[in-house]
Structure 1
């Protein structure tokens, strides 16, 4: 099947806009993957960055993954112990930015916000946006039905076995 046939099929099905968005996202992901592949990476739960010919460890513990270098090259977003964090490209200033568990953080093109995947108001995965400073509520982006609804509250068990109220 050639490109013209695929384009006609998508247009007839009413998916031209979606196809265009996915093409743009694919191009952005390819450009982003290049920067990420050559700059920052995770291995065995630790975030590293290439600095010339040497590799520099940026995180102390072994519970981090999915690092992404910001488009301006100054910061890194990553998943730390199930939540989205940001740090400077030299490893300084580590701080949590998401207010819930999440995965797959991606920078905005202007490096001012991060989108990530987390449980939405429907209980299914959704997309949320948050600023890079932390301390603010994540904004539901998708599904559209969740934009006007509060995101589901997350609960965490912090008691050690045998020390909680039921012990």
Structure 2
């Protein structure tokens, strides 16, 4: 397949957002800290300066607590937390974990791990307890089963961007605490790849994106979900190979209206990992000059400002 340039990629998915050139980080004004990953370590920045919170590599998917005072993150494929300044680093479980997300009351952290069915499942664990035991959220049928044996946790590394994203099991807890968005679910019995919104109380599941199988003549993935603070929008990172070039889309970001089910593409080709600031702005990971940049994105106009080199951004919540 012929490799497309960034302009051609943008045209391929019908995006109007303009491409940017790197500018000084001081040009970006952020209301709160953004946590992100570069070189396997976690950093925080508001644009003008940055602080490194971890060393040694192997860190991924930092996620702010609702009060903005802690971060959950992955370290060598296991779930850890730390304070906003990088102190108090603490492992919560030895069970392999992926993509953590805090409950809105800050009492629990959801994460993905192997389920009793052999596929990806979603667990929750008490955020502040010592030696807490994970509890199953999804699939519902695993809630009454014994937890599967723990396997050796490994940090995700190597492979192409598409290969890494395709198996990324990051989860996202809804702002009202009632739902969790996650890759996979019961829909995998019909489709080759899918994204689900599950109801915490009853375990019901709703498919919101699907690829291959079930009469769908495509392949792809929908991963790394992210809720807007009002719960009205859910975004995720997507990729699609259709039957024709016109039906194919490189990595891009989808925004989903949780009331109507309407979907739209936001940003430009190769954007991924959107995290909302508010209803008008978000931060994303974008590709520029062959590298990954944490970038400020205006959701209505597509205007974009690079902040720092890095990926996997998470926005610190502002005090209510």
- The match for 1:150 among 146, 152, 156 is 146
**104 and 155 in structure 1: CA distance in 2 versus 1, 3 angstrom threshold:** closer
Matched with 1:49 is 44
1:83 aligns with 2:78: yes
Deviations 1:77-96 (A, max 9, x none): 01110011100001011011
Q: CA deviation at 1:51?
A: 5.4
**1:67 pairs with 53, 62, 67, which one?**
62
- Aligned position for 2:135: 139
Displacement of 1:99 in angstroms is 3.5
C-alpha distance in 1, partners of 2:73/2:151?
22
Q: Structure 2 length as normaliser, TM-score?
A: 0.36
Unaligned runs of 5+ in 2: 1-29, 154-320
- So what's the TM-score if we normalise by structure 1? 0.68
Asked if the contact 1:68/1:76 (under 8 Å) is kept, the reply is yes
Conserved 8 A contact 1:99-1:138:
no
Alpha-carbon spacing, 1:118–1:156, altered in 2? closer, same or farther (3 Å): closer
After alignment, is 85-94 or 133-142 more displaced? Answer: 133-142
What secondary structure sits across from 1:101 in the alignment? coil
The answer as to whether partners of 2:96 and 2:151 remain within 8 angstroms in 1 is: no
Give 1:11's aligned residue: none
Cα drift, residue 156 of structure 1: 4.0
- Alpha carbons 1:78, 1:86 under 8 Å: kept: yes
In the alignment, the residues of structure 2 paired with residue 53 and residue 110 of structure 1 have an alpha-carbon distance, to the nearest angstrom, of 31
- Counterpart CA distance in 1 for 2:56 and 2:41 is 7
SS of residue in 2 equivalent to 1:79: strand
Aligned to 1:147, the other structure's residue is in SS state helix
Please give the alpha-carbon distance, in whole angstroms, between the structure 2 residues aligned to 1:44 and 1:62: 7
The ranges of structure 1 where at least 4 consecutive aligned residues each deviate by more than 6 angstroms after the TM superposition are none
SS at match of 2:141: helix
Partner of 1:120: 115
CA deviations over 1:6-51 (Å, ceiling 9, x no partner): xxxxxxxxxxxxxxxxxxxxxxxxxxxxx9x952111111001115
Q: Would the alpha carbon gap of residues 41 and 60 (structure 1) be closer, same or farther in structure 2, given more than 3 Å must change?
A: same
Bigger relative contact order (CA 8 A; separation at least 6)? 2
C-alpha distance in structure 2 between counterparts of 1:145 and 1:128, whole Å: 13
Q: Is the 8 A contact 2:95 2:151 kept in 1?
A: no
- Structure 1 gap segments, 5+ residues each: 1-34, 158-167
Partner SS state of residue 95, structure 2: strand
Aligned CA-pair RMSD: 2.0
Q: 1:142, 1:43 → 2: CA distance?
A: 31
